[in-house]
């Protein structure tokens, strides 16, 4: 079929996803802005505000290649420190903040590292870039205060494994947050959105990124991803408590959350 990888054996999927993001990395930011009308910035802001970051936290952002989420968390923590009534630069809490950005694709990590330098964060000890797979994380059990994954879990071959790993690396009280393109269930809006995704996105992908197939894959992967309530049930199955989700733009995206208690 023209819709990419439907019939591809599972073991090949990770490699193909890798190829997609290698070819997408350079035009990635522009495409995100074009496809979401800039809204992805607000959605990521929302994700980070739900996280309630704090100085000194250990956080893991998975599929975080470009650093978009990690930079927001760091900005948020820095603004908390500046607002603190008795801010004592000597207490070094900010220096203890560790935000691990884990991505399977070194090209995406390079985009993020480059952007960190451009933001003056090149020397920051708070940002740690790690090449790795969401399904087999290299971090210790109960080592993280927070876990985020933005527009990433949809690409993972076994969602359950990624969720089990998220649960494993979080400390008790740690928060899991996932921002993902989801399902629209509102009549008329759904038809418009389907038209937009199946016709407009691949065309824009071809025009701007010269890569129709990758964007067709993107649209197809949104279709295949479980609807909000089913994904919430998977998160609960992984052991998380107080699982909730919030739809934005009628379900075009959703933020799912859970706590390891
Ligand atoms: N989180 C970033 C953002 O919101 O802008 C990047 C999202 S991008 C659409 C998806 C990312 O997931 C890519 O960087 C890709 O390399 C990464 N990825 C795909 N499969 C992965 C896996 N199994 N483990 C870790 N990262 C993965």
199-231 pLDDT, tens digit per residue, is 999 998 898 888 899 889 889 999 999 999 999
- How far does the centroid of ligand 1 lie from the alpha carbon of residue 79, in Å? 27
Residue numbers in the known binding site for S-adenosyl-L-methionine are 66, 103, 133-134
The answer to whether the CB of 251 is under 6 A from ligand 1 is no
Per-residue model confidence (pLDDT) at position 6: 47
Q: Which residues in the chain land under pLDDT 50? A: 1-6
| Atom number of ligand 1 nearest to Cα 25 | 14
The answer for residues whose C-beta is within 8 angstroms of residue 65's C-beta and 6 or more apart is 21, 25, 101, 103, 105, 107, 108, 109, 111, 112
Q: Is 214 in the pocket of ligand 1 (CB under 6 A)?
A: no
Contact 240, 258 (CB under 8 A): yes
Three-class secondary structure of residue 67 per DSSP: coil
pLDDT tens, 226-246? 999 999 999 999 999 999 999
At residue 3, the pLDDT reads: 36
Q: Is the CB of 217 under 6 A from ligand 1?
A: no
DSSP string, 84-137: -TT--GGG-HHHH-EEEEEES-HHHHHHHHHHHHHTT-TT-TTEEEEE-BTTB-
| Ligand 1 pocket, residue 104 CB under 6 Å | yes
Mutate which of 27, 29, 44, 103 for ligand 1 pocket (most atoms within 8 A of beta carbon): 103
The model's pTM is 0.88
Residue ranges and CATH numbers for the domains of the chain are: 10-259 (3.40.50.150)
Q: Whose CA is nearest to atom 18 of ligand 1?
A: 63
Strand order across the beta sheet in which 58-62 lies:
127-131, 98-103, 58-62, 144-150, 170-181, 253-259, 241-248
* 86 Cβ contact partners less than 8 Å away, ≥ 6 residues apart: none
DSSP-derived letter for residue 139 is S
Note the pLDDT of residue 80.
84
Q: Which atom of ligand 1 is nearest to the CA of 157?
A: 23
Q: Tell me the C-alpha to C-alpha distance, in Å, between residue 211 and each of 25, 198, 201, 208, 215.
A: 12, 15, 11, 8, 7
């Amino acid at each position: 079929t023209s819709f990419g990888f439907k019939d591809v054996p599972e073991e090949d999927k990770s490699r193909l996803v890798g190829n997609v993001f290698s070819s997408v990395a350079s035009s990635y930011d522009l495409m995100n802005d074009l496809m979401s009308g800039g809204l992805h910035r607000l959605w990521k802001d929302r994700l980070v505000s739900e996280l309630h970051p704090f100085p000194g936290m250990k956080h893991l952002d998975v599929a975080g290649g470009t650093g978009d989420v990690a930079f927001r968390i760091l900005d948020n923590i820095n603004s908390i420190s500046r607002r603190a009534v008795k801010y004592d630069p000597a207490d070094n809490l900010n220096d203890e903040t560790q935000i691990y950005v884990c991505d399977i694709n070194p090209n995406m990590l390079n985009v993020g590292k480059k952007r960190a330098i451009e933001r003056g964060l090149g020397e920051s000890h708070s940002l740690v870039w790690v090449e790795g797979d969401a399904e087999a994380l290299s971090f210790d059990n109960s080592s993280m205060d927070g876990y985020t994954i933005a527009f990433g879990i949809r690409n993972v071959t076994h969602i359950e494994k990624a969720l089990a790993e998220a649960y494993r690396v979080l400390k008790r009280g740690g928060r899991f947050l996932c921002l993902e393109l989801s399902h629209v269930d509102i009549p008329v809006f759904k038809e418009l959105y389907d038209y937009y995704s199946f016709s407009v996105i691949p065309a824009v992908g071809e025009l701007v990124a010269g890569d129709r197939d990758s964007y067709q894959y993107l649209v197809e992967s949104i279709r295949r991803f479980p609807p909000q309530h089913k994904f919430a049930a998977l998160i609960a199955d992984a052991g998380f408590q107080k699982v909730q989700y919030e739809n934005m733009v009628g379900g075009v995206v959703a933020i799912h959350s859970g706590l390891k208690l």
